[in-house]
Amino acid sequence: MSDTVTGGDTVSRMPKFLRRADPAVATAFACIIALLIFGSLYSSSFLSPEYLLQQLKVASFLGVIATGMMLVILLGQIDLSVPWTVATGAMMASAAAAFGPMGVALAIPFGIFCGMMIGLVNGIGVAYLRIPSMIITLATNAVAQGLMVVYTGGFSPQDSASEAMRYLATGSLVPGVPNAVIVWALIGAGTVFLLTRTTFGRSIYAIGNRERAAYLSGVDTRRIVMITFAIAGGLSAFGGVLLAGYASKAAQSMGDAYLLPAIAAVVLGGTSILGGRGSYLGTVAGVILITLLQSILSVMQMPEAGRQIIYGVVIVVMLLLYGRAPASR
């Protein structure tokens, strides 16, 4: 039968360690190195440990948000509610911090909880009501925005982030290593475990590949879709909590700058936008790549308009490159 899917021949001739590496992930890492070399030609401080660590810290906010996005994209869905889920997480955590010592203690969990609620609504809409994720997440984004505007009266909220939030985002438990990077590493390790070692993770891949086959195999696909959206919402909100800690307070539309970069990081890391295929290592590479690109464009003092254009063009070009590569996982 002529139903083989993979280019098995070319793969089997490669050495073993390369065979295991996804070509997309390798490309992303190669681009990171190329960007660093290009940047160091521009400014010698580009390769300094301080700069690199600073970039990693900035990347970790995007990294946490992109983790949730990756889980949803692996299902073959999309989460467009990221901007205001991020803002909701930040604002609700800051708001809780204003309610005495109890509020301070519960600020972070409360922010994440609010994000999970938004994600849960997304998940119920997609899994049980069969609303396309593009529509329902766009709608919950608008609702979250409205609720936050009602809460703040349309001005930047006066509440400021709790000590714990600031410590998580800007402190460093291990000298020299920002806490935000440690947080991202922990979330990343948890995600890798979830995706590779648990039945839940396997079900996510299976649903992304063939929801029908997964359903007919006796897996409760709707429950898994719903929970995955809730996790993604929680991670977006957690990203917002970290951002609020970083800036000491929440702000209107602070999440707007994270939707496209989160999707781009996931897809540049080799995760199929159609779902079912991708590794977390790729998302890590994608997040670092996007962060470096943004940084280099701002170091070069490129005007905002030019930055947006280059940023968009790079994403389209890289997606085209990946689109030509044969499917493999």
Partner 1 sequence: MDTAPEETRPLLHMQGISKRYGGVRALEDAELVVHAGRIHAILGENGAGKSTLIKVMSGVVAPDQGRIVLDGAEVTFDSPAAANKAGVVCIFQELSLIPELSVADNIMISDPPTRFGMIDRRAQRRIAVEALARAGASDIHPSALVKDLPLSRRQMVEIAKALARKPRILILDEATSALTAADVSKVFDVLKRLRSEGLALLYISHRMHEIAELADDCTVFRNGQKIATYKAGTKSDNEVIELMIGREYQNVFPPKPAPNAAAKPILECRGLTWTDRLTDINFTVRPGEVVGLGGLDGQGQRELLLALFGVLRGCTGQIVIDGEPVRLASPAQASSGKVGMALIPEDRKTEGLMLPMTVRENLAFAAMDKVSKHGIIDRQAEDRLLDEMVKLLAIKTAGLEIPVGALSGGNQQKVVIAKWLMRHPRIILLNDPTRGIDVGTKQEIYQLLRRLADQGAAIVFYSTDYDELIGCCDRVLVLYDGAIKRELVGDEITEHALIASALNIDVAEAAKMARANA
Question: Residues interacting with partner 1, by CB under 8 A?
Answer: 1-6, 8, 197-200, 202-203, 205-206, 209-210, 212-220, 276-277, 327, 329
The C-alpha angle 142, 143, 145, rounded to 5 degrees, equals 65
Which residues on adjacent β-strands are paired with residue 169? none
Q: Smaller CB distance to partner 1: residue 8 or 312?
A: 8
Find the shortest distance in angstroms from Cβ 220 to partner 1.
5
DSSP labels for 84-125? Answer: HHHHHHHHHHHHHHTSHHHHHHHHHHHHHHHHHHHHHHHHHH
Find the shortest distance in angstroms from Cβ 76 to partner 1.
12
Q: Smaller CB distance to partner 1: residue 54 or 329?
A: 329
Which of 221, 276, 240 is CA-nearest to residue 61?
240
Whose structure tokens read 């709707």?
Answer: 222
Which residues on adjacent β-strands are paired with residue 160? 249
Q: Smaller CB distance to partner 1: residue 45 or 198?
A: 198
Find the shortest distance in angstroms from Cβ 215 to partner 1.
6
Find the shortest distance in angstroms from Cβ 201 to partner 1.
9
Distance in angstroms (rounded) separating the CA atoms of residues 193 and 205? 14
Find the shortest distance in angstroms from Cβ 88 to partner 1.
29
Per-position b or e across 6-38, b if 16+ CB within 10 A of its CB: eeeeeeeeeeeeeeeebebbebbbebbeebbee
Find the shortest distance in angstroms from Cβ 5 to partner 1.
4
Distance in angstroms (rounded) separating the CA atoms of residues 290 and 295? 9
Q: What region, left, alpha or beta, does residue 239 occupy, with left being phi > 0 and alpha being psi -120 to 50 degrees? A: alpha
Q: Smaller CB distance to partner 1: residue 300 or 327?
A: 327
Q: CB under 8 Å to 291, separation ≥6 — which residues?
A: 55, 58, 59, 62
Distance in angstroms (rounded) separating the CA atoms of residues 35 and 300? 13
Find the shortest distance in angstroms from Cβ 208 to partner 1.
9
Find the shortest distance in angstroms from Cβ 2 to partner 1.
5
Find the shortest distance in angstroms from Cβ 194 to partner 1.
9
Q: Smaller CB distance to partner 1: residue 60 or 191?
A: 191
Q: Smaller CB distance to partner 1: residue 227 or 284?
A: 227
- C-alpha dihedral over 82, 86, 91, 97, to 10 degrees? 140
Q: Smaller CB distance to partner 1: residue 39 or 208?
A: 208
Q: Smaller CB distance to partner 1: residue 126 or 207?
A: 207
Q: Smaller CB distance to partner 1: residue 80 or 194?
A: 194
Q: Say if CB 75 and CB 243 are below 8 A apart.
A: no
Distance in angstroms (rounded) separating the CA atoms of residues 206 and 213? 8
